[in-house]
Structure 1
């Protein structure tokens, strides 16, 4: 179809700019499909949103220029230009829906393409302008597509909530199990500490008993050695007056008798 030949210079320039933007949008969404990092996806969506706004402005300029040239163009040319504008509007809407789908996937609360500073009235006016150029079937298809996208976004949100609840339940169960395990460990440590304390006391008592027994044995040994020394001295030198009688050895007469008997032999 030789459409460009029927366009004025201004319309041809705007048509070329819109075609370039559509090509950039197609490449941009293909690139977005390959990006896995959410931050990079967000930046790419911002760039694509700016392209969509620029394309919307160009379509509006295309519509104004077409209406200014409407009286100077043939009915066939006007019909061809109007169909071309509707085709560009439909393609733009398809990219807007794709952008919304990616935005929903990232769970970002972004301002809609047509929510410009003009407010709600401007939004309704612009959307009404685009919708007035679409056929009933196109409007139905667009509505069904948007409802499907909304349903998909809701299902994804429900799945995220369900996964979050499951993870929370598993985490709570794990924490409870770990808490019980820590409590058992603390109880075991207390028992071990008590046992060690009792064992330390018992060792100290045994040490004191051993020390006492050794002292008694040493004293007994000293006494025995002293007694033996005195006995030996008395037997060797009975006339030694420096050594007193030892209790338990009997009277001096018995000791002299014992001494005489030993000398007689």
Structure 2
């Protein structure tokens, strides 16, 4: 088929050759992807294969624009060969797109699909894909897209449900922590009041101790003085300087002899 395309037009043959090389690279790439276990490497390999499929899609679109030239459409046999070739290219590309979707759904960090997303699925691209499908293929493709949409909706519902659940748990945790903080603040107030009360008691006790020390000091000085006087009196009983001290020297009694009474 490639040689017949080249015979029809050299430029079309070159595009056909480039597409054939990409299909060969995609086939080898998906075979390698089966053997890769690391998710990071698998994601990078999948991105590389996606880039190749984008390039293949561009070439198919270019091939489609070329075969719409009146030079080819005016010849039924040639037009048939070129359209069959285009349909074969689109079908093979679709098979790789399906493989990419299957692997991409299980790979984190995947990029958007080749014919998916707001910037990818243009009218021309969809026309290129659908114009070469039978009614049954279109129905199957529509059912597949519906299933994928339903699955995406279910995943979104699960994410929303999990988010609400996490939010509820977080709110409950915050409420518990707020109540705990309020209890801690109340305990701190009680501790602060107890510390102030203890400080006042310590000050009062300090003043009482100081007063008691003054009294004890005075008593001690008095006792020392009395003891000193007693000691002096015992050592020097004839000392007249301390005879008048109350309680230490006996009072002097004026006694008169009886014979003076006569």
TM-score normalized with structure 1 length: 0.68
Structure 2 alignment gaps of length 5 or more: 256-262
Q: 1:199 to 1:227 in 2, by over 3 A?
A: same
State whether structure 2 residue 155 is matched by structure 1 residue 152. no
- Is 1:7 the counterpart of 2:5? The answer is yes
After superposition, the C-alpha distances for 1:192-243 in whole angstroms (9 at most, x for unaligned) are 3433443343334333323322331221122123234334545634552x44
**Paired residue for 2:39, among 27, 36, 40?**
36
Equivalence map 1:50-129=2 (5 Å): 50-63=51-64, 64-65=66-67, 68-69=71-72, 75=77, 79=80, 81-96=82-97, 102=104, 123-129=122-128
State the alpha-carbon separation in 2 of the partners of residues 125 and 239 from structure 1.
141
Alpha-carbon spacing, 1:181–1:15, altered in 2? closer, same or farther (3 Å): same
Alpha-carbon deviations, 1:88-107, whole Å to 9, x = none? 21232444466678489759
Q: For residue 44 of structure 1, report the CA deviation from its aligned partner.
A: 6.2
Which range moves more in the overlay, 208-217 or 43-52? 43-52
Q: Which stretch shows the higher mean deviation, 167-176 or 60-69?
A: 60-69
* Alpha-carbon spacing, 1:178–1:225, altered in 2? closer, same or farther (3 Å): same
- Structure 2: how far apart are the matches of 1:109 and 1:129? 19
Task: Tell me the distance in 1 between the aligned counterparts of 2:117 and 2:161.
Answer: 33
8 Å CA contact retained: 1:105, 1:153:
no
1:165 aligned partner: 164
Q: 2: CA distance between counterparts of 1:230 and 1:109?
A: 115
How many pairs does the alignment contain? 245
Q: 1:231 to 1:252 in 2, by over 3 A?
A: farther
How far residue 84 of structure 1 moved from its aligned partner, in angstroms, is: 3.3
When the two chains are superposed, the root-mean-square deviation of aligned CA atoms in Å is: 4.3
1:252 is paired with a residue whose SS is coil
1:21 and 2:22 are equivalent in the alignment: yes
2:198 and 2:112 map into 1 onto residues whose CA distance is 68
C-alpha separation between the residues in 2 aligned to 1:176 and 1:115? 42
Offset at residue 136 of structure 1 (A): 0.7
For residues 69-118 of structure 1, give each alpha carbon's deviation from its aligned partner in whole angstroms, at most 9, with x where no partner exists. 56668x4x76454333212212324444666784897597899579779x
